[in-house]
């Protein structure tokens, strides 16, 4: 039975759900740590079951069929969005990692109320009040808080949030601050309104007054979170790095700056574990990687150049304006918007597929996860 179940496709979780409902024996086998470990090893990286997205300013549709949050399934998977307790609150996705989604929520008066961590597999969620450092220019991340975790089934593991905000000091200069929440160790099978508070923020990092954080999920690379910065006045670009071990902020120069053709670069967590940087110039995709030399000095090197006009179906090559809207951590995979739709591209294998119709997204946040039969079955069908 286990050998058969191992070959069920991970991007069609309905098969595992039906199998786990058949009997106690099958449920116990599918939800055992041994099977989950073997299933991960057999299939490698978890599949993308869907994605969340945020709209560009002014492009939000007047009527949205899937109200909160904006989750689009790309496999036979339906995210659990319970009707209870969501109320008249609106949600914007900030980050998704280790099986959980981080949402920024605000009410009908556009007043932000809290941060919400949501598990699309079970529908369970947690709330956390924002730290006092928050400002209009802000970003946040959600992480598994278990040391040494392989992240195969993190859906019920303790989590931790990181919040980064840009604010003004007494001299009207811009300062960056970051703080981390205490690990949440509650039982995710039971609805609890809030979890623990924030620790003391790290030391300030001074930035130019026109600095802003690009509204994209941060990248987790080598124990640090990386956020893209943009400077309005001079079209400059830098990377804000928050080191989780030292609780400190620092700056990294970007390999290229913004221009009239390079307008939407993104960060990547490359397959080899390095920090990546991607940008499109007309119809050409450029990938950079930041590596350490023998003297422990990091520098950028251009590792890939891909002509997208010969790779993707593009209707109007002379008029098209390609936009990078996201990437997959730990994979040489990016998402790009064309005039015919949104495409997922693996720049290493040159394979691509269309994942959605053409939309004006500001950011696409992939939900990568193996199906978790134990949590799902106990949530939707407590038969056993």
Tokens linked to 196? 């623990």
Cα–chain-centroid distance for residue 269? 11
| Token pair of 335 as six digits | 């998402």
Q: What pLDDT digit, counting tens, does each position of 63-84 carry?
A: 554 445 678 888 777 777 766 5
In this structure, is residue 271 part of a structural domain? yes
pLDDT of residue 379: 39
Domain of 142?
Answer: 45-368
- pLDDT on residue 368: 86
2 and 29 Cβ atoms separated by less than 8 Å: yes
Tokens of 316: 């109007």
d(CA 25, CA 77): 24
For residue 320, give the CATH number of its domain: 2.120.10
**In the sheet where 48-55 sits, what is the strand order?**
71-73, 48-55, 361-368
Residue 23 lies inside a defined structural domain of this protein: no
Three-state DSSP state, 127: strand
The pLDDT tens digits of the residues spanning 211-262 come to 889 888 999 998 999 999 988 766 678 999 999 999 999 999 999 876 655 6
Q: What percent of the chain has pLDDT over 70?
A: 79
Q: Angle CA(362)–CA(364)–CA(368) in degrees, nearest 5?
A: 165
What φ, ψ does residue 24 adopt, rounded to 5°? -60, -40
Give the CA count within 13 Å in the CB-facing half-sphere of 74. Answer: 21
Residue 327 falls inside a structural domain: yes
Specify the pLDDT at position 260.
55
Q: Please state the domain count of the chain.
A: 1
Structure-token match 């989604």, residue found: 101
- Predicted confidence (pLDDT) per residue in 323-350, tens digit: 899 999 988 899 998 888 999 999 888 9
Answer whether residue 381 is part of any domain.
no
Residue 36 lies in a domain: no
Mention every residue, 6+ apart, whose C-beta is less than 8 A from residue 319. Answer: 339
Give domain status of residue 133, yes or no: yes
pLDDT at 228: 92
Q: Low-confidence residues of the chain, pLDDT below 70? A: 56-69, 82-89, 107-113, 133-136, 150-156, 170, 185-196, 233-235, 258-263, 371-384
Per the domain annotation, does 170 fall within a domain?
Answer: yes
Domain assignment present for residue 376? The answer is no
What pTM was computed for the model? 0.83
Question: Measuring CA to CA, how many Å separate 59 from each of 137, 305, 362?
Answer: 20, 31, 9
């Amino acid at each position: 039975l286990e050998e058969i179940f191992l070959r069920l496709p991970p991007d069609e979780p309905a098969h595992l759900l039906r199998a786990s409902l058949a009997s106690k024996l099958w449920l116990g086998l599918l939800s055992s740590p041994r099977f989950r470990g073997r299933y991960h090893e057999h299939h490698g990286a978890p599949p993308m079951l869907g994605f969340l997205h945020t709209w560009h300013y002014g492009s939000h549709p007047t009527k949205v069929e899937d109200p909160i949050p904006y989750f689009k399934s790309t496999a036979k998977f339906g995210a659990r969005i319970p009707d209870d307790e969501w109320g008249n609150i609106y949600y914007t996705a900030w980050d998704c990692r280790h099986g959980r989604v981080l949402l920024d929520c605000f009410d009908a008066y556009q007043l932000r109320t809290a941060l919400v961590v949501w598990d699309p597999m079970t529908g369970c969620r947690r709330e956390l009040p924002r730290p006092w450092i928050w400002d209009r220019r802000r970003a946040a991340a959600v992480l598994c808080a278990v040391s040494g975790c392989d992240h195969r089934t993190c859906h019920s593991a303790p989590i931790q949030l990181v919040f980064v905000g840009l604010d003004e000091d007494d001299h009207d200069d811009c300062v960056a601050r970051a703080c981390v929440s205490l690990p949440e160790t509650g039982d995710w099978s039971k609805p609890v309104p809030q979890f623990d508070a924030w620790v003391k923020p790290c030391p300030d990092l001074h930035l130019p007054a026109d600095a802003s954080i690009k509204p994209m999920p941060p990248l987790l690379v080598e124990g640090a979170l990386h956020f893209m910065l943009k400077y309005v006045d001079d079209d400059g670009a830098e990377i804000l790095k928050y080191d989780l071990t030292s609780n400190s902020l620092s700056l990294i120069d970007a390999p290229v700056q913004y221009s009239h053709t390079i307008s939407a670069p993104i960060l990547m967590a490359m397959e080899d574990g390095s920090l990546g940087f991607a940008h499109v110039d007309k119809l050409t995709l450029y990938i950079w990687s930041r590596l350490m030399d023998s003297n422990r000095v990091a520098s950028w090197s251009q590792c890939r150049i891909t002509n997208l006009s010969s790779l993707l179906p593009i209707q109007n090559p002379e008029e098209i304006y390609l936009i990078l809207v996201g990437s997959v951590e730990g994979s040489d995979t990016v998402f790009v918007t064309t005039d015919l739709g949104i495409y997922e591209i693996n720049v290493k294998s040159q394979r691509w597929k269309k994942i959605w119709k053409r939309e004006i997204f500001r950011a696409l946040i992939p939900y990568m996860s193996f199906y978790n039969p134990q949590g799902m079955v106990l949530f939707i069908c407590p038969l056993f």
